[in-house]
């Protein structure tokens, strides 16, 4: 009995230490998304068509609030849990590099750019003279994973890591592992764990991935892992249901646009962040130990560089990303 108590205490301590290591903004997003999901669960709210990103409503009714409500609402426990577990390593690293306020502005910029690009592509598909299809205008998407795909691109460009790992899960009940090697420029090992369970959005099958990408080299500028987000895009689309291909695609394109400096003119200089951090409005947040101040060492509007020891063997643990849910609109 005593050993169990010690073990439980040790686990609680380790979880507390892990949470204390998560920076301010990243932990705040996790809390906000988690609380919103719990409120929806307790009050029985499932009218996601009212808050999802619906291009037709954004264009015809100018419901721009959907740009931001769609990213903080999630359709099921697994959806919010896995997206937040994916956010923690990505957001923590980017927040330590950029600072809390800078990362917040980047997330707002990415969310807005994703939405505008989403609407633009949907309009082009709906009104092109060759093959007009209006289904993208009525695609209702929720979830944080569009932003996650942008963050994956940005973080990958900063780290230069040669190895990426998606979803590390251990289970005693299931050992259904499928190993494949895809014909790509590198060694791509995929392990697929399939669980049958019920979910709130007509899901009868959930697919969890364990993808390890080794030595995927980019032919441009010697940067590595440029193919990583594209592989994730394809894998999720092939193996999962109700996935918003356009939402993820826009996230990837926005991430690359940011890394290549297209948004430089939209990002303020270091003095702006110092001014914001010095306001009385943020004084309580800035004093918190988890808040990361922008040091001003990063040139205005440019991607920071980040070097680390042994980047070849470095692995980013994204415990899960259950993708942006796509809900048929009514």
223 versus 112: which is more confidently predicted?
112
Q: How far apart are CA 303 and CA 36, in angstroms?
A: 32
Residue 251's domain comprises 23-266+298-328
pLDDT recorded at residue 301: 38
Reported as a single tens digit per residue, the pLDDT across 223-268 is 446 777 888 888 888 877 778 889 999 999 999 999 999 998 888 8
Q: Which has the closest alpha carbon to 75: 255, 252, 328?
A: 328
Q: Does a structural domain hold residue 99?
A: yes
Q: Does a structural domain hold residue 14?
A: no
Give the model's confidence band at 330: pLDDT under 50 very low, under 70 low, under 90 confident, else very high.
very low
Report CA-CA distances (Å) from 188 to 160, 165, 166, 227: 17, 10, 12, 11
Mean pLDDT of 27-51: 95
Polymer length in residues for the chain: 330
Number of independent structural domains in the chain: 1
Reported as a single tens digit per residue, the pLDDT across 270-280 is 888 888 888 88
Question: pLDDT exceeding 90 applies to what percent of the chain?
Answer: 40
Q: Does a structural domain hold residue 255?
A: yes
Residue pair 140/327 in contact by the 8 Å Cβ criterion: yes
Q: Does a structural domain hold residue 291?
A: no
Give the ranges where 99-222 is alpha helix by DSSP (H).
100-127, 145-159
Q: Does a structural domain hold residue 229?
A: yes
173 versus 66: which is more confidently predicted?
66
pLDDT recorded at residue 222: 41
pTM above 0.75, yes or no: no
105 has a pLDDT exceeding 90: yes
Q: Does a structural domain hold residue 217?
A: yes
Give the model's confidence band at 141: pLDDT under 50 very low, under 70 low, under 90 confident, else very high.
very high
Point out the residues that are catalytic. Answer: 145, 248
Mean pLDDT of 19-28: 93
Average pLDDT, the chain: 73
Q: Does a structural domain hold residue 278?
A: no
Report CA-CA distances (Å) from 172 to 169, 175, 176: 10, 7, 11
DSSP string spanning 137-155?
GGEEEESSHHHHHHHHHHH
pLDDT recorded at residue 249: 94
pLDDT recorded at residue 10: 78
Q: Does a structural domain hold residue 290?
A: no
Give the model's confidence band at 161: pLDDT under 50 very low, under 70 low, under 90 confident, else very high.
low
């Amino acid at each position: 009995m005593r050993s169990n108590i010690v073990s439980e205490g040790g686990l609680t301590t380790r979880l507390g230490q892990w949470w204390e290591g998560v920076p301010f903004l990243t932990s705040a997003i996790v809390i906000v998304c988690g609380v919103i999901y719990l409120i929806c669960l307790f009050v029985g709210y499932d009218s996601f068509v009212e808050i999802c990103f619906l291009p037709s409503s954004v264009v015809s009714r100018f419901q721009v609030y959907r740009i931001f409500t769609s990213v903080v609402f999630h359709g099921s426990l697994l959806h919010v849990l896995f997206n937040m577990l994916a956010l923690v390593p990505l957001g923590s690293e980017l927040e330590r590099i950029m600072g809390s306020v800078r990362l917040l502005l980047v997330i707002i910029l990415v969310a807005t750019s994703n939405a505008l690009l989403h609407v633009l592509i949907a309009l082009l598909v709906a009104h092109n003279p060759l093959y007009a299809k209006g289904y993208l205008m009525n695609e209702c998407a929720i979830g944080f994973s569009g932003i996650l795909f942008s963050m994956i691109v940005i973080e990958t460009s900063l780290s230069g890591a040669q190895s990426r790992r998606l979803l590390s899960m251990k289970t005693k009940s299931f050992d259904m592992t499928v190993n494949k090697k895809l014909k790509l420029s590198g060694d791509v090992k995929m392990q697929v764990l399939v669980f049958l369970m019920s979910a709130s959005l007509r899901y009868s099958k959930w697919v969890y991935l364990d993808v390890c990408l080794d030595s995927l080299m980019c032919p441009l500028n010697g940067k590595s892992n440029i193919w990583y987000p594209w592989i994730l895009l394809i894998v999720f689309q092939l193996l999962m249901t109700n996935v918003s291909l356009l939402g993820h695609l826009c996230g990837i394109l926005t991430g690359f646009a940011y890394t290549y400096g297209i948004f430089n003119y939209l990002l303020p200089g270091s003095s702006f962040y110092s001014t914001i951090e010095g306001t009385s409005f943020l004084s309580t947040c800035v004093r918190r130990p988890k808040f990361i101040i922008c040091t001003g060492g990063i040139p205005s509007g440019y991607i920071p560089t980040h070097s680390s020891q042994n980047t070849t063997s470095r692995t980013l643990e994204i415990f899960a990303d259950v993708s942006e849910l796509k809900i048929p609109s009514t």
